[in-house]
Structure 1
Amino acid sequence: MIKTVLHPVSDLAKAKAVYAALLGVEPRTDGSYYVGFDTEGQHIGLVPGGGPQGMTSPVAYWHVTDIEATLAEVTSAGATTKEPVRDVGGGRLVATFTDPDGNVLGLIQDR
């Protein structure tokens, strides 16, 4: 299920104001490297400069129970790993891959 969408932004402060107005909530996470909003079971994240992944467009993340198995399954079906599984802290693992058309998709597993 898609629960998380990350958006690359060029100006974090300006983007934060726009998304707070759009979503009607203040950010749950508010740092210089990431701003995250939680509303109605959805997490919207703002990543300045595309973050370490160098995102250039929004990335939808599927929440899965076994990230390694899911990544193996999608790559055997024709996807290409973009960013291998890595721990981003707090027991959360993330990975990204591209579909055959080059669209970037993400996976998240919470331990």
Structure 2
Amino acid sequence: MFHGMSTVSLFADDVSAAGDWYADVLGIQPYFARPVDGPPAYLEFRIGPDQHELGIIDTRYAPHRLGDGGIVLYWHVDDVRAAYADLLARGATEHEGPIERGEGFVTASVRDPFGNIVGVIRNPHARPDTAG
């Protein structure tokens, strides 16, 4: 049985640059890196009240051909339009602009500078400690 989300894995040719970009977006530094010395092949952040893992992996270790893959993970935000604009200002590119989905739901998604799709959502039914 599924017990909840564990780790979100993103891929980048330049893990150091991706780590810097996400550290800026998230306002935190990765807590884990491998290797410890030299350019990282893997970085990991802990995010939100449940400390979900966001891992950035060197594309050399991708277990599949990279592409859209059919999955967009949406991160809870207070204001989808503001978060979307902020991500674009930081160098992301449009994937899907903000869309009103009805009854307080708003989504948008971008492609980060490393080719990963990152979604943002305002969900009125989310837990109070994760919803904006």
TM-score, structure 1 normalization: 0.49
Larger radius of gyration: 2
Of structures 1 and 2, the one scoring higher in RCO (CA 8 A, sep 6+) is: 1
